Chains A and B, each alone.
Chain A
Amino acid sequence: MRHRLRFFLRKLLRMILLLLGVSAITFALMCASPLDPLQTNVGQVALGSMSQEQVEKLEAYWGVNTPPAERYMGWLSGVARGDFGMSLLYRQPVLTIIGQRLGNSVWVLGFAWLFSGALGLLLGVLAGVYRGRLPDRCIRWYCLLISSTPAFWLALLLLLVFSVWLGWLPIGLSVPVGMETSAVSFLDRVRHAVLPALTLSITGVANIAMHTREKMIDVLESDAILFAKARGESGISIILRHGLRNVALPAITLQFASISEIIGGSVLAEQVFSYPGLGQAAVTAGLGSDLPLLLGITVITAAIVFMGNLAADLLYGVVDPRIRRGRAKS
């Protein structure tokens, strides 16, 4: 138990260091940008017609003249107190906006993550078992095509087919236009979330399926399987008792590593469907040079990704008895 605790604490420390690094690099990159936040948000013409005082006020608001190191330290001490600053574009606390946006995104992300993981595992196992035969070939072609398709184009196609052509699903946003918040039913929200979730699920499958297939082929060529066959075990029993158990470990790694990809994909999908989630907020913040908001989003997403990795590390011990015992000994 003490070993596991120490392992956990060491991972946690590493995670905090990585998050510090992520925030520092984000800050440095945004500060290095030659794009002037005043010009992008206020506009050249409006800026020209303003008095010197007004321009100075705006400059102070966007923090143009404060040295980067000082701003970063200010931000960091704020974060230590649980304050991520104010979004410059939305004029609201960053954490409020992130909370709101994450609330919209989390269902889409969660569904896509679970669904693509389960389907990817299933397809991978099938392809591995039917190696070289028709199901395997179909699955491999599907994966090749999907991993070669830009997520946003797939989203466009789905939009074209289901919203414009068939008219089954709404075109964008997360709620119907011109409706009061209280009048929006659960079904409305689901209808708006279907296409983004579908896009992310379709694209997420390829990577997991291909890796699971490779692993499954390796496992099926092992001596244990040969012995099981010699004992007369049936095909399904071999897959369930020997195949799946060995595939589980890499599958967990892949599943948790795919969090980062799904969040990346959600940036694109939400932009196409104008779904007001975290990804869309990131694009808005990036285009509008809203440093506090973008910084907040990057750090929070990075934290989610690292948490995923940590969860995978902890789950190894649960799934694989060898790792559990090995760690207790050392």
Chain B
Amino acid sequence: MNGRKGTLIFWGVASLILFCLVVIGLFVEEAATVTDFSRTNLPPSLQYPFGTDWMGRDMFQRTLAGLSLSIRIGLLTAAVSAAVAFVLGLCAATLGSRVDACISWCIDWVMGIPHILLVMLISIACGRGFTGVVVGVALSHWTSLARLVRGEILQLRQAPYMLAAEKLGVSRLKQAGRHVMPHVLPQFITGLVLLFPHAILHEASVTFLGFGLSSEQPAIGVILSESMRYLTTGKWWLALFPGLSLVFVVVLFSLLGDGLRRWLDPASAHR
């Protein structure tokens, strides 16, 4: 078995795990909010692997529901961010130097405000809650990918075969479809997958600070910010397991992105 096959198998397994997480999380969403005061503050046991909180909610189910919500928000925001990045990168590279300068300025502008602060501000503008987080994360993560797309297309336009195609009178649409797309698309898809980890982490962070999902929703950020109040009394399981599972999901996404990058890079096929 070579590296490429291994990567493919890993991709299959990892996406299956993530898919199952999303589906299971959807099913336990109801059960996750059930309170039962006969079982409050139980440490982890076989029956409740992640323990229970002060309202007797099963932390395992809450975590599953939270992860599912996080992954769904991550998918949505990363897709929107990537679309914005692609359009702006394309415009900057093809519509002349004025547009390019303008878009570059915008990128610097957005990058000048620390990420968390920017997501906070946009979330406030949208009245916090679900809309706040989604719009905030979606509108603040496009900058680096837009730069990548712009640089890639600018470089391609100077490539000899592109110049030759232009001189031979190949239409711009055909140039774009035949020569630019096959080159930029893999990079773009990899960039898209690598956006998920950032999106998920920022969603959790902003929710943790109180600018994101409301406290009724089962979100990892909410769980962790609630756990802060109980840490000093020794309820370590409230913070440890939900955070650990979030790290697990994010690592899976990062590995997916890395695997994809290696798989799509023809130069590394022999490794």
Contacts and interface: CB of A to CB of B under 8 A. Distances in A.
A260 B109 contact: no
A18 B197 CA distance: 28
Contact of B114 (A34, A286, A301): A301
A140 to B, nearest CB: 10
B181 interface: no
A62 B224 CA distance: 32
The interface residues of chain B, by DSSP majority, are classed as helix
B112 A267 contact: no
Contact of B246 (A29, A150, A159, A283): A150
Contacts of A90: none
B17 interface: no
B116 A268 contact: yes
A85 B194 CA distance: 41
A286 B247 contact: no
A164 B234 contact: yes
Given A157-B239, A164-B232, A267-B116, A152 B124 contact: no
B236 A306 contact: no
A156 B228 contact: yes
A152 B208 contact: yes
Contacts of B232: 164, 171
A287 B127 contact: no
Contacts of B116: 264-265, 267-268
Interface residues of A, number: 51
Interface in A1-52: 17-19, 21-22, 25-26, 28-30, 32-35
Nearest to A24: B109
A152 B247 contact: no
Interface stretch (A111-119, A141-149, A179-187, A319-327): A141-149
A301 B117 contact: yes
Interface in A266-303: 267-268, 271-272, 282-283, 286-287, 289, 294, 297-298, 301-302
A246 B125 CA distance: 44
Contacts of A294: 121
Interface string B107-122: 0110111111100111
Nearest to A27: B121
B68 interface: no
Contact of B115 (A34, A150, A153, A261): A261
A263 interface: yes
A148 B251 contact: yes
Nearest to B122: A29
B44 interface: no
B22 interface: no
Contacts of B121: 25-26, 29-30, 286, 294, 298
A144 B197 CA distance: 11
Contacts of A145: 247, 251
B247 A287 contact: no
B209 interface: yes
A35 B124 contact: yes
B235 to A, nearest CB: 10
B208 A149 contact: no
B186 interface: no
A157 B224 CA distance: 11
A18 B107 CA distance: 10
A86 interface: no
A160 interface: yes
A149 B124 contact: no
B112 A271 contact: no
A34 B224 contact: no
A305 interface: yes
Contacts of B147: none
Given A164-B234, A298-B113, A268 B124 contact: no
B240 interface: yes
B34 to A, nearest CB: 25
B250 A148 contact: yes
B254 A147 contact: yes
Contact of A29 (B105, B108, B124, B251): B124
6 A-B pairs with least C-beta separation: A264-B114, A153-B243, A148-B250, A29-B125, A264-B116, A34-B127
Interface of A: 17-19, 21-22, 25-26, 28-30, 32-35, 144-145, 147-153, 156-157, 159-160, 164-165, 171, 260-261, 263-265, 267-268, 271-272, 282-283, 286-287, 289, 294, 297-298, 301-302, 305-306
12 contacts: A34-B126, A35-B127, A150-B204, A171-B232, A260-B111, A261-B115, A286-B124, A287-B211, A301-B117, A302-B113, A305-B112, A306-B112
Given A261-B115, A301-B113, 11 more contacts: A21-B105, A149-B247, A150-B201, A150-B208, A150-B246, A156-B228, A160-B240, A164-B232, A267-B120, A267-B209, A272-B228
